[in-house]
Each structure stands twice: as C-alpha cells, then as structure tokens.
Structure 1
Amino acid sequence: MIAPLARRLSAGAASLRAAVPFLAKPAPARKSAATGRPEIDRNRSRYGIAIGVFCVVYGVIGGRLVMWGAADASASAYAGFRDQIQAARPDITDRYGTVLATDIKTASLFAEPKNIADPDEATEALLTVLPELDARDVRRKLSSKAGFVWLKRELTPAQQQQILDLGLPGIAFRTEKRRFYPGFETASHVVGHVNVDNQGIAGMEKYIDGQGYLALQNSGLAVGTELEPVRLSIDLRVQHIVRDELAAAMKRYHAIAAGGVIMDVHTGEILAMSSLPDYDPNQPAQALEKDRMNRMSAGVFEMGSTFKSFTTAMALDSGKATLNSVFDTSPFRVAGFTIKEFHSKHRPLSVPEIFKYSSNVGSAHEADLVGVDGHKEFLTRMGLLSKLHTELPEVAMPTQPRAWKKINSMTISYGHGVSTTPLQTAVAAAALMNGGKLIPPTFLPRTREEADQLAVQVVSAKTSDDMRYLYELNGKEGSGKGAAVPGFRVGGKTGTAEKVVNGHYVGNKRFNAYLAAFPIENPQYVVLVVVDEPQPEEGKGTGATAASNAAPTVGAIIRRAGTLLHVKPDFGPEGKALLVSY
C-alpha cells in the first residue's frame, strides 16, 4: 500500500512543478559581462523552502491515508455513535428520592458485513432468535459494503446469549445505556420517556434535555459522568393512589378516560397527576396510541359548571355583587337562544344559592353584570385563556370564541364556549383558595418563599374568603356532598358538561369534573378529577352527573392520601371525646 502511495506523491510533485513556473528546473545562470562568471541566483533559497513545504504537506496527507487504510472500518463507523450510546442520563426521583427513571446497561446487535462469508446463512440464523426482524432488510445490510450496520438495539440478556451461541463471524454486540422506569405506568405522563438513542422525547425527560443535557450528551461530556439526580415535586405514594382510584372509577362508571391532579395551593407544586389510559414508558410505542394522550395538560375541554367558580369570583371581585345579592332565575332569550335551568327553583336566588344549586341563569346574570369585556379580561387574568407555562412540554392552547358577544359571555359563565386544560382549571382554582394569588404550576420542588416571588395577585383576599365559604357550602349541602371525607373538610364545585360531537352538544356523552379544596377552613391542596363519558353505576339509581362519579372519586383519593400530604384529620369535639374515653 505504501509503494503505490509513494509513486502517487512523486507523480503529484512532478505535475505541480509543471503547473507552477517558479518550481520548475531553473534555467542556466547568466554570466557577468565584467568577470565572465555565472551570476548568483538570489531565489535559490526560496525554491528550496517552497519544495520543502510541499513535501511536508504531501507527506502528512500520505501518512493519514496509510493510517485510514490500516484502521478497523467498523471502529471508525461506530465512533460517531459511541459517545452518544455511552452517555449517562441523570436519574429522575420523586420528592423523597424514590427512583422514577434510571439507566441500565443493555446489549445492541451490529454487523461487519466485510467479515460475513455467507449473508443468506447469517440472516436465516439470526431470524431464529429475532423473528421480528425483516429478512429482506437484514440480508441487504449483511450483503452491503458498509463497515458497520445496526441490526437490533436493546436486546434482552437471553437474546444476546442465544445469538452468541450461533457463533456467527462478523456479528457482535455493543454495550449501550437504556432507560428503565421501575414505576412502569404509575407516573408515565409526568416522567415521559426517551428514544432508542436515550434522548428525551416526552414529559420531564424532554424538559431535562432542553435544560442543557442534550448539548452535554452531543458534546461527549456526559460519558462516564456522575450526574446529580433530578428531583420532581411528585410524591410517588400519592401518585399511586390517584392513579389507582382513577382506574377504579373508569371501571365502576364504564368511562372511556379519567384524569386527576393534586396541587399545593401555596407553592404551585404538583404532588400527583395522572391521565388514563396511560402507557408503560419502558414500551414508548404505546404513547403513540391516540387514547393514551395526557388529558390533564395536553387536552382541552369545556369544564362545565366548574367554571361557575370563576364567574362567581368575578362578580364578587368586581364589587358589583356580594354574597347577599339576589338574581332572577327565570328563563330568558338572548340572540335567539334560551338560557334556562337544568333544575329550576322557580324563584330568585342569592349568590350562595346560585352556586349551591348550580344555576345557569343566575351565572349568566352575574356575567352580564360585569360585561363582555370585563368577563374576557378576568378569565385572561386567571390564566384560563392563554397557554400554561410549566416544565411539562405537553401543554395545549385553550380555545375561545373569535369574537366575544353577549351570548358567548353568558354561556361561558356556566362552562360552555371556552375549552381549557384541566390542569389550568386547577391552577386558577388554587388562586381562589390561597388568598387570591395566581402561582404557575411546577413539577419541580419549590419553597413557599420562591412561590411568593412568582405569585400575581389576581383577586382580593376578601373574594378568596368568600369563595372558600361557597366551596364549603357546596361540599356540605350541594352537589359536592359525595366527596365528603370524615376528618377532612372538603369543599368544591361539580361540573357536568355535554360533549360536542359534529358541532352539536350530545346529551348522553358527558365530560364530568369535581374541583375540590381541602381542608377547606385553610386550604392546602386543590384536587381535580375528570371522568370522560361515564355511565350510571350498575345496581344504583344514581345518574351519570359529576356529583355521582367525579365527586366520590375525589373523596376516595383524599381519604387515602390526606395524611400522606401531612393534613391532620380533625374529627371535631366528638372525635376528641372518643379519643379521651378510649
């Protein structure tokens, strides 16, 4: 190999001398007219320097060609993958250090086609262990002139051993990093998942890459590096309870989907969030199925009567209504539409009664009191009409009418006409419970002091006090009674929204929700549960409204998770007397 290279270099130098005049053989020196001796060529030293430089350059190029010719082709082809494959991702843990995602070592199968004597025989042998491979594709790869080709990534130990037993020359393995999720589906929509190259493509895994890890990985600086774990705000114990109760609700009410979230009203931390059907992040292809989307942050829905929380808060905060205000609840027409009650009381209602009885007409009058522009401004201020800002990448944009008219404002007052994410609804409700401060949600730990730096006052403390009273009233006497839990005072607002199909509301397809806070005398947490297209519970005479499915699910979650959230149950004087006597 070296002799042909030398001949090429010699020929190249000759052609270069022919092309460049000052490198050609110098002409005979002229003789001096006075002495008859040849003149000294002043450029002789320059010729020598130039020739030396070109010889060095060609020598370096020739040396590199020799090195590349002698190098292992598979090693050079694999070099571009090596750092990325061996790069370690940081562990993801819950708020108490329980691992949610970690790296494990796995073997991936590759081939060196130049070392394979019989591609057909090798293909048939490999298919006995990996029948899912495409025979034509494998045969094409093994017959190619490439120095390195991938055949199968992330094999099981059993598969690796079976292929080793085949004893095929030119077939080998590379050790890679594979992401493993020990909790499987439990927190899949929050944690997310990675692709085959160990790069985050969903959930907090994608967020981590966007914070600089991907650049670290691509630069090779993540190889052999011990990275600090990324701690989330999620409490895995509470997360399990939420998912477990949502699964039970789907089965009990024959629903097509369900979702839930628990949020700290003072810090904005998300303690748990689940959307069913979910998926196993160890099998990321499942996430592509349409029904497995994250409904809590990536889906928008009309939230029904839960929106009456914001309508009432708006009327109270405007100063144009108080808890003593009374509104007529007789049906009336606007722009060709009739605004009427689901269950009319056939009399005027006070603001607390409008909230407790979930009056559509009363809510429409509250919105009309503030006006169309004021209504739109208030919902914008509460963050319900704009895209939510948080670490989770899967966040949908709410929808609203292109032009707000009086009829739009009135229907929006009771939850029809604006679609938003359930997570946004919970965030806005937290502001009504915590003294009036809108705090952006986070999936990372945050202190109360840090939250105060981000908080925006959106309603007065007086309005927040009034809304806590109304939530407690509805939890005791209204549609929220199904969420009552002994020892935990739970208040909230139900919402039963008819779904839109082909541009029309369909009465037998509902999207139900219960928006709750507890302990209601000094709320620490907001809990929201949604149930998609529930059916009446078998063997019971209850219907399919939120009061009969979403509210009881919230109660079941709080009953199991309350103490884990450091809320001490209070059973009142009777409970204390029982403890003393015991």
Structure 2
Amino acid sequence: MRKHAFTLRSRAHSRRVRIICIMAAFAAIFTGIFLRLVQFGMEQEASHGISITYDRAPGGRPAIVDRNGELLATDIPIASLFIEPRSIPDLDEAVEKLTGIFPELDARELHSRLRSKDAFTWIKRQITPDKQQAVIDSGLAAIGFRPENRRLYPNGSLAAHILGAVDIDNRGIAGIEKWIDANWLADLRGAGLELKGRELQRIELSIDLRVQYALEQELGKAITKFGAAAGAGLLLDVTNGEVLALASYPDFDPNNPENAFKPDRINRVTAGVFEMGSTFKALTTAMALESGRFNLESVVDASKPLNFGRMRIHDYRGKYRPLTIPEAFVHSSNIVMAKMALALGPEASRTFLGRFGALSPLATELPESAAPLLPSSWSEVATATVSFGHGIAVTPLQASTAVAALANGGRLIRPTFIKDSPVSERTIAEDLVSSDTSEAIRHLLRLNTAVGSATRANVPGYAIGGKTGTAEKVVGGRYSRELNVTSFMGIVPADNPRYLLLTLLDEPRGLPETYGNRTSGWNAVPFGGAVFQRILPMLVAPTFPPPAGTVQAVPAATEEPGSRGTAAARTWLLRPR
C-alpha cells in the first residue's frame, strides 16, 4: 500500500516538473519574441528619421564665395524619403497618406510602384523639415529617411549664369558648379571620398556681389524700358582678365534648376554669338594704325558708298565727305573702315583678328561657350563687312577680351572667374599693338564719349571712353530692318584703363523719347551710363577739373578735338568732366 502511494506521488511530481518546464519554455519563447519586436520597433523608429546623423550625408560640395567673401552657394543637410514596398502592411493607406502629404505625387503611379514588392523605392527626394515631420506623424510603416545635401543659393537668381546649377544628386550640371566637378571634385568621388562641404576649401570667385547686383538691376530696367527680348552685361578687369560681373537675361534660379537649360536662358555673354557691329571698328582702326599706312591725321574719302555688284556699303547718317581717322571713328563711318581694311588686304585683316582671338572659341572656367561664326571665304566683300562688325559673329566675351587687349597696351588675357588666378598662365599673347596704337585707341574711345555717340555714358568725375555698336539681326537668312542688336563697350579711366564694361540689348524698341531710334546711342549707352553711375564709386576714386580760374592746358582753337588728334587734344579729352 505504501509502495503504491509513493508511486502515485512520484508520478504527480514528474507531471508538475514537466508542466513547469513547458511553461518555462513558452515563457522563454515569448520573451524572445517580445525582445525581437522591441528591437524591430527601435530599428523602424530609427529608419523613420526621428534621429538623423547629417554628418553622414554624401555628396558634399565646397562653398562658393565672391571676391569679398560673401556667400554665393553652400550645402545644407536635408532628408529624402524612401519606402520598402514589400513591407507595407496596407498599400491603400500608404498611398492615401503619402499623397495627402505630397499632393504633387500621382496616386495611380505611386500605387503601381508600391505594389511591386521591391526592397526599396524613393518617394520624394530632398523634402522640407515640415514635410518630414508630417510623414513621421502619419505613423506609416516601412518608411525611412536618407540624409543628403541640398545646394542652397542664398541670393536666388543673382549671378545664376556664373554659378550654374547642380542636379538632384548634388553634382554640377552648369556654370562654375560643373567646372568644380570636372576640375577635381568628380575625381575625389571616383576615388570613393565623399567629403563634407565644410571639409573642402571654398571657391573664391572674381565677381563682386555688389557690382553684380547693380549690373543685373540696371539690365532689368533697360530690358523693361526698351522692351528688349533679351540682354547682357559684363565688367572685366583689363589688367588681369578677372570678371567682376556677368549678367544675362532671361535668367533662372539655381535653387530650381529645371529652367536652366531652356533655350532662352543661355548665357549670352559666353554662349551666344552676335554680330557686334561698330564695336569692331576699334579693332579695324587699331589694325590700320599699327600697319603704319594710316595715322590719326590720315584722311580717307567717304563721300560715296562702296559698291560690290548689287551690294552697297554706306554710312548711317554719314557726312559723305573726306574724314580724318578720329572723325571716321566718332561718326562711325563704315566706308572708311572698309576702305582701310581693303587697303591692307583680306589676309592682313584675318590675321590681325586671329591674333586677338576673334576667330576661335574662347575657353574659360564656364563650360557654356560658343565658337564664332566666320565668313565662308575671306573675300574682299567679307573683309569690308567684317571691318565694321558685320558678317562675323562672336561671343560678347570674345569681343570684350579683344578690346581689353587694345586698351591695356596689347596684352591678350584669357578671362577668368576665379579670384587671383595667375595672369601669366592666362596670357595668350603680348605686344599685339604698340604703346602708341594703344594710346591712340584710348584717345579715340574717350573722344567718342566726349563728342560722339557715347556721350550718354559719361559720369561726372570719371574719364570714360567707349564705342557703340548697332547690328541688324539676321532673320531667315536676310538682314532685318526692324530688329537689331545694340551694344556698348566702355573703358575707365580712359587714360589708364582698369575696367571694361559691356552692355548689350537684343531687339530693343524705339521710344517717343528716343524719337523712334533703336540704335545703341539711345539704349545700350544710357544703360551703360547707369551701370557706371552705380559701380564706379565702389571701384575707382573720382577726379574733377581744377576750380574755376585755375590755369589749364586746353587745345588751341585750330586744334578742335577729333580733327587732328594732337597731344594737346588728347590731354584735354582724357580729363574727366
């Protein structure tokens, strides 16, 4: 009996032990499941972007500043939203919530992508912090945030054609941004180095943000006032080739670069080609003087138009009499320019222009550039028309660089947008003209602003020299009498130039105040004068004539400025009014 009772107690004990073991096993299993769920929840929370380490954001770029250290472009940390389609518990709910937060998303397209059961797909790149918080608050599962860099241009469209733009992956696609990638940043990334922007040396541009703002503002005013289709402007340091400002309109906002590649948004200074009209006469006159066959006292007969078969070359409001070289320059005589070029011959003309870089593309840091359009054959007709800026189309930067070489004593310098870029490495040619020819061209430019077509560019206290240009546009293979391009090139100070200003208007209209005239002296020149008025006090100290009663050197009555170009006349002309 006792043995049977012991057996029963032993069996009961064994059952209790087995039950306890089973319960412990289940407890361990459920504890493991619980811990795994907690871990999974923590991973999901991290992927939801509640805590983002932005220092891990790839694709950093160096900051860009102007010559005075003013910020032009920088990186900012930002998040991009992705989702794991195969882990979405409720597809319809996910689509509804996401399109509610991002109305620009197409619900049908999004539903199709999320139904694919892929491991990863982007929902929205570079979202704003408020949108990120809205996604977090929505409680959506299977989402995550990737830290990235977004390029910020704090000045909006200011200097857009210089800065360029980047794509969604923060890679340069235009302007200086593209140059940075092509020059060295792409190589770093190719080597696997994804540095943060603050670890990279900033890029210092040659532009002056103050001058850039003034140029763009005055360009906008001129476009509006004269109803022009487009326009451009440039300020170039003729002593070292640094570009202090470049403007082209229409422009774009690099913060929203989708407009950067529209055909009408090209950089007209470096990527547009134009017949520059009478601004080319400075080159033709320099060629004639440098040849030794002409001087400032030479007289050329402009009494009759030049005939080439059915083609005639005549002067716009010409004097139709013999003209001295200064008179021909001031009155912008096509006839005289053509006769001088023809006297030297087609080969001499082509060679001279080639030495000044007018016949080949001009390379700068900006990738946007255009090759000149040249005559199909350098015939006598082509030689004659090229002499006054027709039949050849170049970029405004090319033309400005050539005139800058005339003004600085004959040194052709490749322009740059980088501050303190070594001049010696960018010097293309030296001594292209003699010091006497360079002085004569400066004198003629000053003469033209004193008594010629560029008087509206004058600013009290500054000796400004300049040349106007008006060219008819080619429409359907023929020159239009209704549409033209006007330009102005001004140098300051005229006796020892430091800066060259270019202004250009495409298809300006005549106004009642211009008496219906559409030529450069009525629009591009006052536009240039307004720019000079604003920027010169920042760049050049003014000088003024001596007080009344002070003895001054003035030309004799027989030495009328422009008639013979004597030394006394040059002294008188180069003095600011």
State TM-score, norm by structure 1. 0.82
Q: Identify which of 493, 516, 533 aligns with 2:490.
A: 516
Instruction: Supply the distance in 2 between the matched residues of 1:378 and 1:136 (Cα, whole angstroms).
Output: 65
1:99 corresponds to which residue? 71
2:418 corresponds to which residue? 444
> Deviation of residue 576 (structure 1)?
12
- 1:215-364 aligned at under 5 Å gives the runs 215-224=187-196, 226-329=199-302, 330-364=304-338
- 2:82–2:143: 8 Å Cα contact kept in structure 1? yes
Q: Identify which of 148, 168, 183 aligns with 1:196.
A: 168
Instruction: Supply the distance in 1 between the matched residues of 2:306 and 2:543 (Cα, whole angstroms).
Output: 45
- 1:83–1:223: 8 Å Cα contact kept in structure 2? no
- 1:267–1:451: 8 Å Cα contact kept in structure 2? no
* Residue type at the aligned position of 2:125: R
Instruction: Supply the distance in 1 between the matched residues of 2:396 and 2:288 (Cα, whole angstroms).
Output: 23
CA 1:540–1:380: 2 relative to 1, 3 Å: closer
CA 1:446–1:107: 2 relative to 1, 3 Å: same
Q: Identify which of 184, 187, 200 aligns with 2:156.
A: 184
- 1:265–1:523: 8 Å Cα contact kept in structure 2? yes
Paired-residue identity, %: 46
> Deviation of residue 213 (structure 1)?
0.4
1:506 aligns with 2:480: yes
1:411 aligns with 2:385: yes
Instruction: Supply the distance in 2 between the matched residues of 1:85 and 1:292 (Cα, whole angstroms).
Output: 32
1:547 corresponds to which residue? 521
1:402 corresponds to which residue? 376
- 1:382–1:438: 8 Å Cα contact kept in structure 2? yes
1:392 aligns with 2:372: no
- 1:388–1:395: 8 Å Cα contact kept in structure 2? yes
- 1:246–1:260: 8 Å Cα contact kept in structure 2? yes
CA 1:191–1:362: 2 relative to 1, 3 Å: same
- 1:542–1:548: 8 Å Cα contact kept in structure 2? no
State TM-score, norm by structure 2. 0.83
Instruction: Supply the distance in 1 between the matched residues of 2:132 and 2:547 (Cα, whole angstroms).
Output: 66
- 2:514–2:522: 8 Å Cα contact kept in structure 1? no
- 2:204–2:419: 8 Å Cα contact kept in structure 1? yes
> Deviation of residue 323 (structure 1)?
1.0
> Deviation of residue 203 (structure 1)?
0.4
- 2:411–2:427: 8 Å Cα contact kept in structure 1? no
CA 1:357–1:229: 2 relative to 1, 3 Å: same
Q: Identify which of 524, 535, 542 aligns with 1:569.
A: 542
1:366 corresponds to which residue? 340
What secondary structure sits across from 2:212 in the alignment? helix
Count of paired positions? 499
- 2:59–2:169: 8 Å Cα contact kept in structure 1? no
Instruction: Supply the distance in 1 between the matched residues of 2:351 and 2:55 (Cα, whole angstroms).
Output: 51
- 1:436–1:464: 8 Å Cα contact kept in structure 2? yes
Instruction: Supply the distance in 2 between the matched residues of 1:217 and 1:408 (Cα, whole angstroms).
Output: 50
CA 1:449–1:410: 2 relative to 1, 3 Å: closer
> Deviation of residue 84 (structure 1)?
9.9
> Deviation of residue 451 (structure 1)?
6.6
2:555 corresponds to which residue? none
Where in structure 1 are there 5+ consecutive unaligned residues?
A: 1-71, 76-81, 578-582
TM-superposition CA deviations, 1:164-203 (whole Å, max 9, x none): 2221101221111000001111100001110000000100
Q: Identify which of 445, 462, 468 aligns with 2:442.
A: 468
TM-superposition CA deviations, 1:374-426 (whole Å, max 9, x none): 11111111111100021111011101012111001101111110000001111
CA 1:136–1:200: 2 relative to 1, 3 Å: same
1:432 corresponds to which residue? 406
TM-superposition CA deviations, 1:272-316 (whole Å, max 9, x none): 010011110000001122221110111001011111111111111
Provide the alpha-carbon RMSD of the alignment. Answer: 2.2
- 1:370-381 aligned at under 5 Å gives the runs 370-381=344-355
* Residue type at the aligned position of 1:522: N
> Deviation of residue 471 (structure 1)?
0.3
Instruction: Supply the distance in 2 between the matched residues of 1:325 and 1:471 (Cα, whole angstroms).
Output: 18
> Deviation of residue 455 (structure 1)?
4.7
- 1:467-506 aligned at under 5 Å gives the runs 467-506=441-480
Q: Identify which of 83, 88, 93 aligns with 1:116.
A: 88
Deviates more, 1:299-308 or 1:313-322: 313-322
* Residue type at the aligned position of 1:166: S
1:42 corresponds to which residue? none
CA 1:357–1:237: 2 relative to 1, 3 Å: same
TM-superposition CA deviations, 1:227-250 (whole Å, max 9, x none): 110000000010001001000101
- 1:59-138 aligned at under 5 Å gives the runs 86-138=58-110
Instruction: Supply the distance in 2 between the matched residues of 1:278 and 1:537 (Cα, whole angstroms).
Output: 25
Instruction: Supply the distance in 1 between the matched residues of 2:179 and 2:195 (Cα, whole angstroms).
Output: 20
Instruction: Supply the distance in 1 between the matched residues of 2:246 and 2:549 (Cα, whole angstroms).
Output: 34
Instruction: Supply the distance in 2 between the matched residues of 1:112 and 1:448 (Cα, whole angstroms).
Output: 53
- 1:141-160 aligned at under 5 Å gives the runs 141-160=113-132
1:525 corresponds to which residue? 499
Instruction: Supply the distance in 1 between the matched residues of 2:514 and 2:423 (Cα, whole angstroms).
Output: 48
2:38 corresponds to which residue? none
CA 1:563–1:222: 2 relative to 1, 3 Å: farther
* Residue type at the aligned position of 1:154: Q
Instruction: Supply the distance in 2 between the matched residues of 1:276 and 1:538 (Cα, whole angstroms).
Output: 24
> Deviation of residue 154 (structure 1)?
1.1
> Deviation of residue 113 (structure 1)?
1.1
- 1:375–1:409: 8 Å Cα contact kept in structure 2? yes
1:139 aligns with 2:129: no
1:209 aligns with 2:181: yes
CA 1:171–1:449: 2 relative to 1, 3 Å: closer
TM-superposition CA deviations, 1:85-133 (whole Å, max 9, x none): 5221000000111110000011111111121122232112211121212
